[in-house]
Amino acid sequence: MSILHIHCSPRGRASESHRLSQHIIERLLRASGDAAPAVIDIDATRLPNVDDDYAAALSSPVDPADDVLARGALRQSSELIDALRQATHIVIATPMHNFTVSAALKVWIDHVVRVRSTFRITPEGKIGNLPDRPVYVAVSSGGEFSGEAARQPDFLTPYLTHVLGTIGLKNVTFFSVQGTARGDAALQAARASAQAAIAAHPMAA
């Protein structure tokens, strides 16, 4: 087992999404038995935005020359895609910002959703190049976006489901701590509910 852990909150390890993702990782580690899985951490808040070489490569019918691929955002993209390919399990920790993914997670997505590398264009549409494997997403939100108490829209889960599916990752499971801005009692209840959902989920090694 190799776990790729992508954390995307500007609050870092103090964030609710990071805390929730740690429960997912601990659950995966228990499921691995006596094996000693590697956990590769990527702090998406430190990733640079894609650059002009990257934009030119996406609009071209072929990849650029090796010297261009070896610099800037294209080099960063290749490294992130390699980490994604090598992982058997992927854990993404992100806050919900303005009803959707955080800016840092969007930068990671822009790097790894790359034509000819992680998906190809066919007459039937975009087809993923990556083999499927489990993806677990830990989401934190100041308000509720699901259930009877939902008072805001959710563009995060459908977007992530679609964009990850585009590169071949269709086995996506979401866990969330919602209502973090509603006070300590609501936060503790949300944490307990999310942790119970993780404990009950059948996670395969």
Instruction: Give the Cα-Cα-Cα angle 95, 137, 79 (nearest 5 degrees).
Output: 95
Instruction: Check residue 106 and give its pLDDT.
Output: 98
Tokens 């009950």, residue located: 200
pLDDT given for residue 195 in this prediction: 95
Lowest mean pLDDT among 44-48, 56-60, 77-81, 164-168: 56-60
The alpha-carbon radius of gyration of the chain (Å, integer) is 18
Average pLDDT of the chain is 93
Which residues lie across from 5 on neighbouring strands? Answer: 41, 91
List the helix and strand counts (H, then E) for the chain.
Answer: 7, 8
Q: What pLDDT digit, counting tens, does each position of 36-48 carry?
A: 789 999 999 999 9
Looking at the domain assignment, is residue 205 inside a domain? no
Confidence of residue 182 (pLDDT cuts 50, 70, 90): confident
Is there a domain that residue 164 lies in? yes
Neighbours of 16 (CB within 10 A): 24
- The CATH number for 38's domain is 3.40.50.360
pTM for this entry: 0.94
Tell me, yes or no, whether 158 lies in a domain: yes
Angle at CA of residue 140, ends 139 and 143, nearest 5°: 125
Q: How confident is the model at residue 204 (pLDDT cuts 50, 70, 90)?
A: confident
CB neighbour burial string for 120-148, b if at least 16 within 10 angstroms, e if fewer: eeeeeeeebebeebbbbbbbbbeebbeee
Q: What pLDDT band is residue 35 in, cutting at 50, 70 and 90?
A: confident
Within 13 A of 193's CA, how many CA atoms are on the CB side? 16
47 occurs within a structural domain: yes
Question: Tokens in use for 151?
Answer: 């008072």
pLDDT at residue 5, as a whole number: 98
Q: Domains in the chain: how many in total?
A: 1
Give the CA dihedral 14, 19, 22, 23, nearest 10 degrees: 160
Q: What is the pLDDT of residue 46?
A: 96
In a domain, residue 95? The reply is: yes
What are the pLDDT digits (tens) for 100-152? 999 999 999 999 999 999 999 999 999 999 999 999 999 999 999 988 878 89
Q: Which domain holds residue 63?
A: 2-200
* pLDDT on residue 193: 94
